[in-house]
Structure 1
Amino acid sequence: MQRILIPTDFSENAWNALTYAMQLFCNKQCTFYLLNTYTPIIPSSRFMAKMVDGERIVDAVRDSSELGLQKTVERIQKQFNNPYHQFETISSFNLLSEEVKEIVDTFNIDLVITGTKGASGIEEVFMGSNTVRIIKSVKKCPILAIPRHFNFISPTEIAFATDFNRFYTTSELAPLLEMARMFQATIRIVHVQYTIKALSELQQFNLNMLRRYLKDVEHYIHTVSELHSVSKTLEIFSKELDIHLLAMLNYQHSQMEKMTREPIVKKTAFHTQIPLLVIPEIGMEGTTTKAKTREHSFPSS
Structure 2
Amino acid sequence: MQKILIPTDFSENAWNAIDYSMQLFRDKECTFYLLNTYTPVIPSSRFMAKMIDGVRIVDAVRDSSEKNLQKTVAQIKGKYKNPKHHFKTVSSFNLLVEEVKDMVDTFGINLVITGTKGASGIDEIFMGSNTVRIIKSIKKCPILAIPKHFDYVTPNEIAFATDFNRFYTLSELTPLLDMAKMFQATIRIVHVQYGIKALSELQQFNLNMLRRYLSDVEHYVHTVSELHSVSQTLEIFTKELDIHLLALLNYQHSYMEQMTREPIVKKTAFHTQIPLLVIPELGMEGIAVGVGTESRSASNQEEP
Answering whether residue 151 of structure 2 is matched by residue 140 of structure 1, we say no
Equivalent residue pairs, number: 294
The equivalent of 1:230 in structure 2 is: 230
**C-alpha displacement of 1:168:** 0.4
The equivalent of 1:33 in structure 2 is: 33
Report the residue type matching 2:152 in the other structure. Answer: F
SS in 2 for 1:191: strand
- Structure 2 CA distance for aligned equivalents of residues 124 and 71 of structure 1: 33
- Kept in 1: contact 2:147–2:274 (CA 8 A): yes
Shift of the 194–177 alpha-carbon distance from structure 1 to 2, 3 Å rule, reads same
- Structure 1 CA distance for aligned equivalents of residues 66 and 52 of structure 2: 22
TM-score by length of 2: 0.92
- Structure 2 CA distance for aligned equivalents of residues 263 and 37 of structure 1: 29
**C-alpha displacement of 1:44:** 1.8
- Kept in 2: contact 1:232–1:271 (CA 8 A): no
The equivalent of 1:122 in structure 2 is: 122
Query: What do residues 58-85 of structure 1 show as CA deviations (whole Å, max 9, x unaligned)?
Result: 0000000000000000000000000000
TM-score by length of 1: 0.93
**1:64-79 pair list within 5 angstroms:** 64-79=64-79
Report the residue type matching 2:200 in the other structure. Answer: S
- Structure 1 CA distance for aligned equivalents of residues 124 and 163 of structure 2: 26
- Structure 2 CA distance for aligned equivalents of residues 88 and 50 of structure 1: 31
- Structure 2 CA distance for aligned equivalents of residues 240 and 219 of structure 1: 17
- Structure 2 CA distance for aligned equivalents of residues 157 and 228 of structure 1: 25
The equivalent of 2:297 in structure 1 is: none
Report the residue type matching 1:42 in the other structure. Answer: I
Q: Comparing both structures, which one devotes a greater share of its residues to helix?
A: 1
Report the residue type matching 2:59 in the other structure. Answer: D
The equivalent of 1:87 in structure 2 is: 87
**C-alpha displacement of 1:234:** 0.1
The equivalent of 2:168 in structure 1 is: 168
Report the residue type matching 2:181 in the other structure. Answer: R
- Structure 1 CA distance for aligned equivalents of residues 217 and 154 of structure 2: 16
- Kept in 1: contact 2:117–2:128 (CA 8 A): yes
**1:92-111 pair list within 5 angstroms:** 92-111=92-111
Query: What do residues 103-128 of structure 1 show as CA deviations (whole Å, max 9, x unaligned)?
Result: 00000000000001112222364411
- Kindly, what percent of the aligned residue pairs are identical? 80
Report the residue type matching 1:122 in the other structure. Answer: I
- Structure 1 CA distance for aligned equivalents of residues 68 and 51 of structure 2: 27
**C-alpha displacement of 1:147:** 0.2
- Structure 1 CA distance for aligned equivalents of residues 282 and 53 of structure 2: 46
**C-alpha displacement of 1:257:** 1.5
**1:206-245 pair list within 5 angstroms:** 206-245=206-245
- Structure 1 CA distance for aligned equivalents of residues 280 and 56 of structure 2: 40
Aligned CA RMSD, in angstroms, stands at 2.0
Shift of the 33–51 alpha-carbon distance from structure 1 to 2, 3 Å rule, reads closer
Shift of the 56–42 alpha-carbon distance from structure 1 to 2, 3 Å rule, reads same
**C-alpha displacement of 1:17:** 0.3
**1:254-273 pair list within 5 angstroms:** 254-261=254-261, 263=263, 265-268=265-268, 270-273=270-273
- Structure 2 CA distance for aligned equivalents of residues 8 and 285 of structure 1: 29
The equivalent of 2:43 in structure 1 is: 43
**C-alpha displacement of 1:258:** 2.5
